[in-house]
Amino acid sequence: MEKIGQELLQLKKDADIRIDKLREEIKEETKLINFYKEKILELEESIKENSKEGFENNIVKPIVIDKIVNKDIEIEEHIIKDEQKVLKEPKIINESTSSKRSLKSCKSNIKNLFSSDSNDVQMLNVYEKIPFKNIDGGAWRQGWEITYDKSKVSSEPTLHVFVVPHSHQDPGWLETFEGYFDNKVDYILSSLSNFIVNNDDMRFIYAEMSFLERYWSRKNSTEREKIKKLVKDGSIEIVTGGWVMTDEANSHYFAQIMELFEGHEFLKNQFDDYKPKNHWSIDPFGLSPTMAYILKKSNLTNMVIQRVHYEVKKYLAERKELEFNWRQLWDNGEGKTDIFTSMFPFFSYDVPHTCGPDPAVCCQFDFLRILKYGCDWKINPVRIISKNIQERARLLVDQYRKKSQLFKHNVLLIPLGDDFRYENKEEISIQYDNYKKLFDYINSPEGFKEFNMKIRFGTLKDYFDAVNRKFEEEKPATLSGDFFTYADHDDHYWSGYYTSRPFYKRLDRLLQHYLRGADLIYSTSVMSYSKNTNILENYKKKVNYSMLVEARRYMSLFQHHDGVTGTAKSFVVTDYAEKMLKGIENCFSIIQNSLEFFLKINTSDAKIVYENNDSKNDHVVKLTVNEYMESSDTLPSSYVINQNTSLVVYNPLSREINEVICVKIYNYDMRIQNINEEDQEIRPIIKVWNKQLTFTNKSNSRNIKRNYFELCFKVSIEPLGTKVYNLTKKRLPKESFCKIKGSDINVKNIDISGSYLKDEYGNDIFDIDRVNKNSEQRVDLKFDSISISINDKTGFLSHINDEVVEVSFSKYGVRSPIPSKPGGEVVSGAYLFLPDGPSTKLSSNENSYIILDGKLKKTVFVKGNEQTQLFHKTEIIESKLYVSITNDIGIMDLFDFEMAMEVNSKINSEDIFYTDLNGYQIIKRKRFDGKIPLQGNFYPMPGVMYIEETKNSGKRLSLIGNQPLGCSSLSSGKMEVILDRRLTHDDSRGLASGVLDNVKTRSSFRIILEEMEKDDTSNRSPTGFLSKIAQLTYQQMHYQPIILFSKTLLNIHESILKRFSPLKESLPCDYHIVAMRTETEKCDYEKRENGGILYNSKNSLGLILQRYAFDCSLSHKNTQSDDKCIESEGKVDLKRKINLESAKIYNSSLTMMYSEEEKEIEEVELTPMEINTFKIVF
């Protein structure tokens, strides 16, 4: 009996454990089912309103779900009474959801982010309505003849006009940044500040902090104080305050935030309490709501924008909706993301196109043209004198009145400037003196009686203060969407610059990756060492913070709208590239020195090295980042690592990663010491040499064959953590060597023989064979997580998981000039894409390929089209759900040639596709065949595009890129990306040259195929969201592990390495650390070190967090990797997650111009899509 009693007792314990476990599972399932129940009930309501018959047909499923939820609640209440029922019911719940995915794996409720009906103007709807006829409107060629009733002028509210002087200054375009500063900007800022001091009614706005900081650093305190006073008094307004006027098509949101942060930090340090409130974006070639959101989160309140498609301007002008509250696509209708925006109505930001609709008249009031330039309309300006002042005033006022008819209020903004204007006192005086005479006359009793107008010089602040008072009663319209693709006239769509100079676009992303990593590591270090003043001081001696500031500024500079766009002169592009390479090298130094310092102070040698400052011991740890570039125009490469070396791997993500990483090694008989053999793999390195695919590696100088190989191995690294892996000489077993398979076509192009594939005994190192084809003549490669098929003739991808996904390549030519067609004389250039018709396929007849078939990776290497020097790679990785694609191309020998990669499928996407905006959000696109030409259907792809079934269920195919390029979907089921373009012509947009400085370029992508089950709400929405897998794949691709190596073995315990991470545990996977950026102290420009300005860091940093919104309607056949990643319920306890100890956390604006330091916080809560900065003081 006693034995039976013990067994019963044990059974009861086991049952209790099972019951507790089941109770937790049911609690989670209940939350998820309630979420789906809510969706279904809302769907019921929608169906009730629209179709009684439809409701009756769909009522069964809601009832079933309702019963399940009720049963689940009943189970929870009676769980102990009926264990058998508990065991059965969860199975019913899972079966009734009829979903292939694990519901636990995704729980974002994004339904309320689909808000297509909450805006007055939705840009996709606008495109549906506009006929795009390009009708000649007369003087305002792209509009209409504006009229007004002159007899009613005196009885209408007085028109208040603010004339706003400005000088648009490109930090690099036809000259380098330094060239422009030395030749123009220095004189402009000096001349203007001196003039305004003596003419207190003159005003000026200024935007580019990169130039202002350079000016600041070269002037004495008297000159600096003069400008500070003018800014404080409101005579000069600093608008936006960014480092540059950033491009909005190709720039990544990380870089957009960082360049704004850099400018705002300079202002905060040098201009006391000055905070910009108004944004000025007059030259970027199309505009993104991402920038509007970043500005909103930075506490700016108003925006001015200019370059928008001329037909869109006309549409908005006809409805007096050129001013609106710009709202995010995913705003739930509350308007929390709204920012007031004013759009210029006419062609350009120069004087002829800003005073009114008639450029021939307006040009006569750009008085600099008296001295030089003249007017294209053959009527030049004249000086204002008493004899002509009435006639001149009437002419000008008439233009102002006509322009005012396009707005809902009686306040008018008149920009007065152009590129690099107000260069000297003579220029400033001729504008000021003539306008002052006109103002005085218009404002005089005589003039006021006739014109009913008040006019003066003003700033954006003056204008928006007046306008916002007008909108207190009647709110402006709300608008959602973006303003791509821009066309300034005719069929001249600016979709070429989405791809121009792609090598440097990729270099920009590489710099961003290392800059983010360097900032994370530096911030982690100073926060960690802040408790010990001696260690902190020694760290700052070891690590040069000024190098980090320089890297930030080089990255920020390239975000300029003639930088990352690829639209500058060739020598300017080279200058940008050299700066970016220097920035990358600076980041390497920060990363290397920081990790060296950490490893040293956690070994027995720490006191010797850092307390006695004995440099002889500095050899203890010496780290080198494994990636390098030989020059600013060569592809990145990695070092070949020898045995008895330690690899130090840093995880720059805020969650644990499980990745396969690879390093080059000198010989095949090497392995990682502390990893299982089955988690390692030896692979040969494949190259194209003498037009052959080969394993030969030849040194550049001696032309000697070398036996370089690749060692791949699995790593698992904690969030923001570091691990050390020791590389030793010991041969792995045969199973750890991949198999080599060569194609049986074009065998002359494959060299898989040679002594470098033999060991010292003459035996093959790798098993070598020809490819095996299936019954459909495809080559299959499989892991449990994913399978692919390769076209046996081309080597290109043909299927994913047995679904058609075909990769191919095509080309566009350049159209011939057509003088008889409006705008037909212009052809493709750096800005414009004007093809000669649809693309044509590039020949793949000479393709050859080699397959490396391993247990960790399976890779297909293709020597492709010879004229484009295509070297193509398709790869799958064990446990991963994506297909990796890499293209190395070189079109240096071609002319008027644009190369595209196409991905074709059988997905019925019709005319709909989706692209990202700045890597931050997704926008729905529609192809408008016939109404918009081919080039107008291309859009920026800073990182992602996808297509999906237009019905509620089916498949989604996502293409994730590691560089910004132009893309489209020109037919159902197809995605297309332009990879590079080489053009002999100028496209008449000011560059005065083509694009002929092409270099060997690499583009990388990941393709994901997913199952989809959506509802009508998301299908109707103008936005979209990535699945969890796609979002995390995008994140992993952009922020890969940083690999360093030491030439000596490091014996460091894992417990020591854990001290380095600032995180105690992973953040939820819907939370992402955008940046962790240490603040910069106010620098003393009088103090220099080795000729340079010395920057120091503060004991505070900005932690920028973003919360993702995942689309949970998507699933995969394999979700194991997804299940490990847990989402938040919205709230995150930072004190519990981060090693802050005595540090304090405060809310702040995005760029930390504002912070709430009176109230310390511990827990943060972000809504999906939200980005916030938190100030940490330590």
Q: Identify the H or E element spanning 1145.
A: strand 1144-1148
Q: Exposed, middle or buried, 527 (CB in 10 Å: 0-12/13-18/19+)? A: buried
Distance CA 918, CA 902 (A): 22
Which residues on neighbouring strands pair with residue 325, listed in sequence order?
Answer: 340, 478
- Residue 283 bears catalytic tag: yes
**Measured over all CA atoms, what is the biggest interatomic distance in the chain, rounded to whole angstroms?**
124
Distance CA 493, CA 932 (A): 10
Which residues on neighbouring strands pair with residue 304, listed in sequence order?
Answer: 280, 342
Nearest to 1106 by CA among 718, 719, 653, 722: 653
HEC string of 751-769 equals ECCCHHHECCCCCECCCEE
* Structure token digits, residue 657: 């990663």
First to last CA, the chain: 65
* Structure token digits, residue 970: 């020109």
Distance CA 573, CA 579 (A): 10
Nearest to 1129 by CA among 23, 20, 28: 28
Strand duo 965-968 + 974-982: pairing? antiparallel
Q: How many residues does the chain have?
A: 1178
Q: Is 235 helix (H, G, I), strand (E, B) or coil?
A: coil
Number of Cβ within a 10 Å radius of residue 747:
12
User: Please, are residues 666 and 656 in contact by the beta-carbon 8 Å criterion?
Assistant: no
Number of Cβ within a 10 Å radius of residue 1162:
12
Distance CA 1073, CA 108 (A): 18
Q: Report the Cα 538 to chain-centroid distance in Å.
A: 36
DSSP strand E in 54-195: where? Answer: 121-122, 159-168
Catalytic residue among 170, 283, 338, 462: 283
How far CA 380 is from CA of 375, 389, 418, in Å, comes to: 5, 16, 17
Distance CA 92, CA 101 (A): 15
Nearest to 196 by CA among 236, 166, 157, 250: 236
Q: Is 328 helix (H, G, I), strand (E, B) or coil?
A: coil
User: Please, are residues 640 and 696 in contact by the beta-carbon 8 Å criterion?
Assistant: no
Q: Which amino acid is at 365?
A: F
Report phi then psi at 679, rounded to 5.
Answer: -100, 20
User: Please, are residues 803 and 905 in contact by the beta-carbon 8 Å criterion?
Assistant: yes
Name the residues annotated as catalytic: 283
